[in-house]
Structure 1
């Protein structure tokens, strides 16, 4: 496989779809090193890239701060009333939506 063939497989948005990668034998999500393995003519298995578990994404923020950011984004976009149906969220913030200064 050549660089040109790989580049020709990009989607309209510039990435690679799950379907396109599957045609090349690349698992989803694509593991680091998949492109180099294809260019070297290796299979994903021979390159040690088959059946790898994706790394969990861990935000660099506490659960409290993340919840606060999400709730504030909802409130700032004028949808605070959407939160009223989530009793757990309201209870967490003392039965009210958080203020910017919290």
Structure 2
């Protein structure tokens, strides 16, 4: 869903704004998403440093750090996904197309 930009969006409302305003919203939305994902990766890493040496209660041979490492790893993968989508998203912004057929647009 992330690679296709199929998360929550309302392209029909977004298209109602003039292009200059849409460009500003585009940059702001990317900054908010990157900021959130960077914070998630950072604090996910901090959690890993706090639980070093602990294991799962039911599977004592599985370290907690292995299980919880999904948070910073997934955050970094989402950052990569968002970065790969920038050219297509910007092109769709300029062309006033949604890029992906989405149902339920308002």
TM-score (norm 2): 0.27
| RCO comparison, higher one (Cα < 8 Å, 6+) | 2
Greater helix proportion: 2
Greater Rg over alpha carbons, structure: 1
